[in-house]
Amino acid sequence: MKSQVEQQGIVTLTSEATESMRSSELWNDDLRPTTLKEHTWSGLNFATLWIGMCLCIPAYTMASGMISLGMNWWQAIGTIFLGNVIVLIPILLNSHAGTKFGIPYPVFARLWFGSKGAHIPSMARAIVAAGWFGINTWIGTTAIDVLLSASFSTWANLTGHTAIIFALFWALNVGVAYKGPQAIKVLSLLAAPIVGIAAIVLLIWAFTSAGGFGPILSTPSKFTTTGSFLKIFFPALTGVIAFWATLALNIPDFCRYAKNQRSQMIAQSFSLPLTMSIFSFIGIAVTSATVVIFGTALWDPVQLLAKFPPYVIFLGTIIIAIASLTINVGANIVAPARAIENLYPKRITFGLGALITGVFAILMQPWYIMSNFGNYIFGWLGTYGALLGPIDGIAIADYWLVRKKQMALQELYDPKGRYSYSSGYNKNGIYALLIGVAIPLLGLIIPGARFLWDNAWTFGLFIALFTYTYFMRNDHSILRSGEYEKITHFSTGTDTQPPEFIAK
């Protein structure tokens, strides 16, 4: 019996297969595969999603950390561009699975870790995302609080004013996320042009007010040898890669709505690396101009806006809030909400998962974490990069090398299906993850092997990729030759009979 239909590269379940899975403990309306009618996201939607997420304060200030370590402006921008091009590769590879089979990240993880084992990579991604959710909520909070205090002296004297802003901004973030990915789609369409135009206006102001971009752009690199540069370059590159390594995993949460492969691939390929690089350059150029205008380098856009008249501060507050909101709901709530929902699909909805994520983010005390912003950002990025790199490698290996883009979609929702492996766990995935994490960790222990840790994401990805591929050779869960064709009806889109009828 044919249980799925492939039309123009997109696979959906037949109505008959859908009905048979509705009672499954692994199925609910958020985790089920998308229908053909739900594949509505165009290339523009993916471009605005990435532009909206990239135009954020951490991206604006990312290059500042590299310059403080000795890089000149073009070395910092080059590192940022290269890192985003590298992380774009796993993003596109994992995007293909989400687009073709219409599945969210936790369901995708069932393929390589098992129906129960999927909680391991899902929750690993969720914890990181919840941490970032708290961080970005706190960044947005402090930005709004500083700008309001600069505009209204009574606000600065109000007891608990920061806590009030945090509570309100937290509620706004969770409220938008509660509406689901379609609400995020609309938010991105609105936010991208607003924040983008604001960044360009800020760049023009800096150039005209300073009579150029000032001293930072003319400051030479502090590195006198290639070796001294590389000691800083590789950890910085790993940090840039890890910045979006989270989205490289759960990008299927968004690409499951893509109209086709071509549109999402082209849009993401241009929007991510270019936006991150251009926005980082704007941050460097504007900061360079502040040295001329104010006599000191102002890397934080909040401190910069506080020096403007009240009406500019008001507009800046709104724009920063929009930027923080967009990256938060897009990058930091969807993944943990889906992961929490996947723990108990019949009882937990996406909205409830978003609420739980918000509470967990508060418990992580982002105000305490951000008390040491620079060390935290680079230490945090490098550490979780060592965890997420191997998971990325396993996901890519399973879909592209082990299964060669073929799977039995229905069995992802069957507790007794082939993707439940042994008692719900794929031990090969667990072993590959442990090896992929352990080897880079040796760089912290063995003298002279520090390069393993400095490039933990990259080493972990390739080690886990090759290890998993080897472990999974001839695994019983792999569709045999001709099996995919037996369960799949290939539709041209002009069939005179509905898929439900054809599948019988």
CATH classification at residue 198? 1.10.4160.10
What is the rounded distance in angstroms from the CA atom of residue 235 to the CA atom of residue 247?
A: 20
Asked if residue 65 lies in contact with residue 235, where contact means CB atoms within 8 angstroms, the answer is no
**Encoding tokens for residue 184?**
């995020």
Residue with tokens 């992929």, as numbered in its chain: 436
**Encoding tokens for residue 52?**
């909206």
**Which residues have C-beta within 8 Å of that of residue 444, sequence separation ≥ 6?**
450, 453
What is the rounded distance in angstroms from the CA atom of residue 330 to the CA atom of residue 133?
A: 10
Read off the amino acid at residue 166.
Answer: F
- Answer yes or no: is 384 within a domain: no
- Answer yes or no: is 147 within a domain: yes
Which residues, in sequence order, are bridge partners of residue 12? Answer: 5
- Answer yes or no: is 28 within a domain: yes
- The pLDDT of residue 500: 47
- Answer yes or no: is 286 within a domain: yes
**Encoding tokens for residue 452?**
């393993």
**Encoding tokens for residue 449?**
């092997």
**Encoding tokens for residue 70?**
């000795």
Alpha helix (H) residue ranges in 344-426: 350-363, 366-369, 373-396
- The pLDDT of residue 502: 43
**Encoding tokens for residue 480?**
């045999």
Pairing of the two strands 488-491 and 4-7: parallel
Tens digit of pLDDT at every position of the chain (504 positions): 799 999 999 999 999 999 999 999 999 998 999 999 999 999 999 999 999 889 888 888 888 778 878 888 999 999 999 999 999 999 999 999 999 999 999 999 999 999 999 999 998 888 888 888 888 888 888 888 888 888 888 888 899 999 999 999 999 999 888 887 777 778 888 888 998 999 999 999 988 988 887 787 888 888 989 999 998 898 889 888 888 888 999 899 999 999 999 999 999 999 999 999 999 999 888 888 888 888 888 888 888 888 888 888 888 888 888 888 888 887 788 888 888 989 989 888 888 988 999 998 888 777 776 665 445 555 555 577 788 899 999 999 999 999 999 999 999 999 999 999 989 999 999 999 999 999 999 998 998 898 898 888 899 999 999 999 999 999 999 999 999 999 999 988 666 444 444 443
Residue with tokens 């409220």, as numbered in its chain: 175
What is the rounded distance in angstroms from the CA atom of residue 333 to the CA atom of residue 471?
A: 33
Asked if residue 99 lies in contact with residue 255, where contact means CB atoms within 8 angstroms, the answer is yes
What SS3 state is found at 314?
helix
**Encoding tokens for residue 64?**
């500042």
Instruction: Report yes or no on whether pTM surpasses 0.75.
Output: yes
Asked if residue 232 lies in contact with residue 299, where contact means CB atoms within 8 angstroms, the answer is no
What is the rounded distance in angstroms from the CA atom of residue 354 to the CA atom of residue 460?
A: 30
- Answer yes or no: is 377 within a domain: no
Estimate to the nearest angstrom the gap between the alpha carbon of 209 and the chain centroid. Answer: 36
H or E element in which residue 98 lies = helix 73-101
Q: Which domain holds residue 336?
A: 4-372+389-502
- Answer yes or no: is 379 within a domain: no
- Answer yes or no: is 383 within a domain: no
- Answer yes or no: is 380 within a domain: no
Asked if residue 195 lies in contact with residue 322, where contact means CB atoms within 8 angstroms, the answer is yes
Q: How many structural domains are present in the chain?
A: 1
